[in-house]
Amino acid sequence: LGIDINNPEFVGEHFKFVRASFLKVDLLDKDQVENILSSFRPDYILHLASYSSVAYSWKHPVSAFVNNSNIFLNLIDQVRILALPCRILSIGSSEEYGSVQKENLPLREESVTKPSSPYAVARVSQEMLSQVYAHSYGIDIVLTRSFNHIGPGQRELFATSSFAKKLIIIKHDAALQRKVTVGNLEVVRDFVDVRDVARAYHLLLHKGKKGEIYNICSGVGHSLKQILLMMMKMEELDVELIVDPELIRPEENNFVIGSNDKICRELGWAPKIPIEESIRDILKFWDDQLQNPN
Amino acid sequence: LGIDINNPEFVGEHFKFVRASFLKVDLLDKDQVENILSSFRPDYILHLASYSSVAYSWKHPVSAFVNNSNIFLNLIDQVRILALPCRILSIGSSEEYGSVQKENLPLREESVTKPSSPYAVARVSQEMLSQVYAHSYGIDIVLTRSFNHIGPGQRELFATSSFAKKLIIIKHDAALQRKVTVGNLEVVRDFVDVRDVARAYHLLLHKGKKGEIYNICSGVGHSLKQILLMMMKMEELDVELIVDPELIRPEENNFVIGSNDKICRELGWAPKIPIEESIRDILKFWDDQLQNPN
């Protein structure tokens, strides 16, 4: 929503409670970035613009890299050149950790990064750039490694949202086959509700330590299969799961579970929304969308 | 020489013994890269194009990043798209290791990378991209971490060559003050002669293992001060050294010494040119250049 230059979406339902104005800026265009920064002179930059789909990055590695690492570098370099006294939140990803053995879980900030997808490489690059800018140029950057977000409103490019939409479509159309196409359902992820993530980002912008990395996660793992079964149970639906080899990725991290000890200890953050509530809200979101398309 | 799109130098002295033709290609231009690769269909790509100066990267971090990571990514992605059966040598740098304690020397391929300059970040990014392309897309890439090159013909952007030129200028002009401006002379580097490096690259293209990283280094450390004293002794010159704060970098790795065990053991490579011979040849190079400018 609103983070893709080709398809920005700044109006309508999602932003009706937001008192803000929006501008479309190509973050790859140095001059545009310079103009907006030097005229607006922000105190805080919450940099969420990113091609954040691992699946997309396998198909379009160059575009994924450029629209993560390069847009971020353009932004922080203009902050450096303009010498803006401004705090930047650099969003990283649990994907940076790569494939780990179960015995090395949960993932902690000091764990080794071993990026195994183009997306993950882009995120580690962004993190390394952030460290250089924070430690050597003195730019005020706080970093995250954010785990898998879920929540109402998420694009169906992401598994949880895609599952929910498929189930709701089947639920509303008795003529449809009770079948859902899926990828590898065995992968375990640490899902955290986007509303808890938003609270964490707000805290980090105000109280995070410069140059430090913070995991944002629930600390609990669920397989995609568990998520799907939870949804089927809530909707009282029984569907057959068909594995599509096209949806199996060249390289997959089987277990991703993080530790949120650091942000809990240092900033008092803790996730508040249990996964059942997230799932229920996601199903409700698609139910509303599909019944009242606007 | 010939690796900067803005200032290519393909003719003259340096290439008189080379039976090859040259083309000027902007590696950031996808179409140009595609055209040259699909028409020439190389068996080997020795990718040396790079903005390889750490000092430059501190001043122009965006340009340094783009002209390392992005040009490399464009190249390997076109090899992937065209499915060329071609081996690529990806050149990395000892700068990737970052600042280490003396007790952690010598640096080995399995040592942790901790890039502390924009240039080093770009090189680690390139390495991570190489690993993803080799392991997940199956592209045939062999990797190096090459330590500080020295040798006749090197641009004076680099310390050793710059020192030599300054000394030779003083030697030939009795009217000049016996003073040389320098940066931090205490830093210790592992210098390896470019002619030994070239032999290593040839070996790696033919016999290196796909997806593997090899240190290219001498295994011996010298401080920049030692190098300068060696030059002064050879030229029988005594000059005063003036430290210019402008030449002190925001972040400096004090000790960089590598282990070449892996490439020695696996491929039988060993450096053949002692540092005294390299230094003598560098001084002779500048002597020739300054006496017979062409």
* pLDDT for the residue A6: 60
- CA–CA–CA angle B28, B30, B36 (5° rounding): 100
CA atoms within 13 A on the CB side of B276: 3
Q: What letters, b where the CB count within 10 A reaches 16 and e where it falls short, cover A16-38? A: eeeeeeeeebebeeeebbeebbe
The residue among B244 and B283 whose pLDDT is bigger is: B283
CA distance A181 to chain B (A): 24
Q: What is the mean pLDDT of residues B111-139?
A: 97
Does A248 contact chain B (CB < 8 Å)? no
Mutating which of A66, A73, A112 best tests the B interface, going by the most B Cβ atoms within 10 A? A73
The residue among A7 and A240 whose pLDDT is bigger is: A240
Using a CB-CB cut-off of 8 Å, the residues of chain A touching B250 are 136-137
pLDDT at position B10 over 60: no
Name the residue among B62, B117, B132 with its Cβ closest to that of A121: B132
Distance CA B25, CA B28 (A): 9
Distance CA A156, CA A140 (A): 34
Using a CB-CB cut-off of 8 Å, the residues of chain A touching B117 are 132, 136
Give the percent of chain A with pLDDT over 70. 93
Q: What is the mean pLDDT of residues A14-42?
A: 89
Name the residue among B69, B70, B250 with its Cβ closest to that of A137: B250
Query: Is A118 in contact with B132 (Cβ distance < 8 A)?
Result: yes
The answer to whether B142 touches B212, Cβ cutoff 8 Å, is yes
Q: ipTM surpassing 0.85, yes or no?
A: yes
Going by C-alpha positions, the residue among A215, A252, A197 that lies closest to residue A110 is: A215
User: Torsion angle of alpha carbons A172, A174, A178, A184, nearest 10°?
Assistant: -20
Q: What is the mean pLDDT of residues A170-191?
A: 91
CA distance A163 to chain B (A): 26
Name the residue among B73, B117, B118 with its Cβ closest to that of A65: B73
The answer to whether A124 touches B128, Cβ cutoff 8 Å, is yes
The answer to whether A118 touches A58, Cβ cutoff 8 Å, is yes
Distances (CA, A) of A88 to A61, A143, A215, B91: 26, 8, 16, 32
Query: Is B121 in contact with A135 (Cβ distance < 8 A)?
Result: no
pLDDT at position B253 over 80: no
Q: Which residues contact A233 (CB under 8 A, 6 or more apart)?
A: none
- CA–CA–CA angle B98, A259, A98 (5° rounding): 55
* pLDDT for the residue A250: 66
Residue A90 is given by DSSP the state E
Per-residue confidence at A174, pLDDT binned at 50, 70, 90? Answer: confident
The answer to whether B253 touches B97, Cβ cutoff 8 Å, is yes
pLDDT in tens, B19-71: 788 888 999 999 999 999 999 999 999 999 999 888 899 999 999 999 999 99
Does B135 contact chain A (CB < 8 Å)? yes
Does B118 contact chain A (CB < 8 Å)? yes
Query: Is A115 in contact with B132 (Cβ distance < 8 A)?
Result: yes
Weakest mean pLDDT among A146-150, B162-166, B248-252, B272-276? B248-252
Going by C-alpha positions, the residue among A154, A12, A136, A63 that lies closest to residue B98 is: A136
Distances (CA, A) of B135 to A100, A116, A123, A147, B142: 16, 9, 18, 24, 11
* Chain A residue whose CA is closest to B80: A61
Distance CA A232, CA A180 (A): 11
3-state SS of chain B is CCCCCCCCCCCCHHHCCCCCCCCCCCCCCHHHHHHHHHHHCCCEEEECCCCCCHHHHHHCHHHHHHHHHHHHHHHHHHHHHHCCCCEEEEEEEHHHHCCCCHHHCCECCCCCCCCCCHHHHHHHHHHHHHHHHHHCCCCEEEEEEECEEECCCCCCCCHHHHHHHHHHHHHHCCCCCCEEEECCCCCEECEEEHHHHHHHHHHHHHHCCCCCEEEECCCCCEEHHHHHHHHHHHCCCCCEEEECHHHCCCCCCCECCECCHHHHHHHCCCCCCCHHHHHHHHHHHHHHHHHCCC
Does A62 contact chain B (CB < 8 Å)? yes
Mutating which of B54, B129, B130 best tests the A interface, going by the most A Cβ atoms within 10 A? B129
Mean per-residue pLDDT over chain B, rounded: 92
Per-residue confidence at B1, pLDDT binned at 50, 70, 90? Answer: very low
* Chain A residue whose CA is closest to B76: A62
Query: Is B115 in contact with A121 (Cβ distance < 8 A)?
Result: no
Query: Is B129 in contact with A65 (Cβ distance < 8 A)?
Result: yes
Per-residue confidence at A9, pLDDT binned at 50, 70, 90? Answer: low
Mean per-residue pLDDT over chain A, rounded: 92
Q: What is the mean pLDDT of residues B158-172?
A: 93
CA distance B198 to chain A (A): 29
Name the residue among B112, B135, B251 with its Cβ closest to that of A135: B251
Q: What is the mean pLDDT of residues A198-220?
A: 98
Q: Name beta bridge partners: A263.
A: none
Contacts 24+ apart (CB under 8 A), B56-62: B56/B119, B56/B157, B57/B117, B57/B118, B57/B119, B57/B122, B58/A136, B58/B117, B58/B118, B58/B249, B58/B250, B61/A73, B61/A77, B61/A80, B61/A129, B61/A132, B61/B118, B62/A30, B62/A73, B62/A74, B62/A77
Q: Per this entry, what is the length of chain B?
A: 294
Distance CA A213, CA A93 (A): 11
The answer to whether A92 touches A143, Cβ cutoff 8 Å, is yes
Q: What is the mean pLDDT of residues A43-54?
A: 93
pLDDT in tens, B221-240: 999 999 999 999 999 999 99
pLDDT at position A70 over 70: yes
* pLDDT for the residue A12: 54
Using a CB-CB cut-off of 8 Å, the residues of chain B touching A66 are 70
Q: What is the mean pLDDT of residues A195-220?
A: 98
Q: What is the mean pLDDT of residues A23-30?
A: 93
Residue B290 phi, psi (nearest 5): -80, -25
Q: How many CB pairs under 8 A join A and B?
A: 80
The answer to whether A117 touches A187, Cβ cutoff 8 Å, is no
Mutating which of A67, A76, A99, A121 best tests the B interface, going by the most B Cβ atoms within 10 A? A121
Q: What is the mean pLDDT of residues A52-59?
A: 90
Record the pTM. 0.90
Residue B16 phi, psi (nearest 5): -65, -20
* pLDDT for the residue B22: 84
* Chain A residue whose CA is closest to B116: A132
pLDDT at position A3 over 60: no
Alpha helices in A104-212 (DSSP H): 118-135, 159-172, 194-207
- Provide the CA A42 distance to its chain's centre, in angstroms: 23
Using a CB-CB cut-off of 8 Å, the residues of chain A touching B70 are 65-66, 70
* pLDDT for the residue A1: 40
Give the percent of chain B with pLDDT over 90. 78
Give the percent of chain A with pLDDT over 90. 78
pLDDT at position A274 over 90: yes
Mutating which of A128, A135, A253 best tests the B interface, going by the most B Cβ atoms within 10 A? A128
> Which residue in the block uniquely carries the two structure tokens 């006496």?
B291
Name the residue among A73, A115, A250 with its Cβ closest to that of B62: A73
Using a CB-CB cut-off of 8 Å, the residues of chain A touching B77 are 61-62
Weakest mean pLDDT among A261-265, B163-167, B253-257? B253-257
Name the residue among A62, A69, A135 with its Cβ closest to that of B74: A62
Name the residue among A66, A115, A131 with its Cβ closest to that of B128: A115
Does A132 contact chain B (CB < 8 Å)? yes
Give the percent of chain B with pLDDT over 70. 93
pLDDT at position B279 over 80: yes
Residue A273 is given by DSSP the state S
Q: What is the mean pLDDT of residues B197-210?
A: 98
Distance CA A216, CA A106 (A): 12
SS3 A169: helix
Using a CB-CB cut-off of 8 Å, the residues of chain A touching B64 are none
The residue among A202 and B252 whose pLDDT is bigger is: A202
Distance CA A236, CA A109 (A): 40
SS3 A143: strand
Does B73 contact chain A (CB < 8 Å)? yes
Using a CB-CB cut-off of 8 Å, the residues of chain A touching B33 are none
Does B179 contact chain A (CB < 8 Å)? no
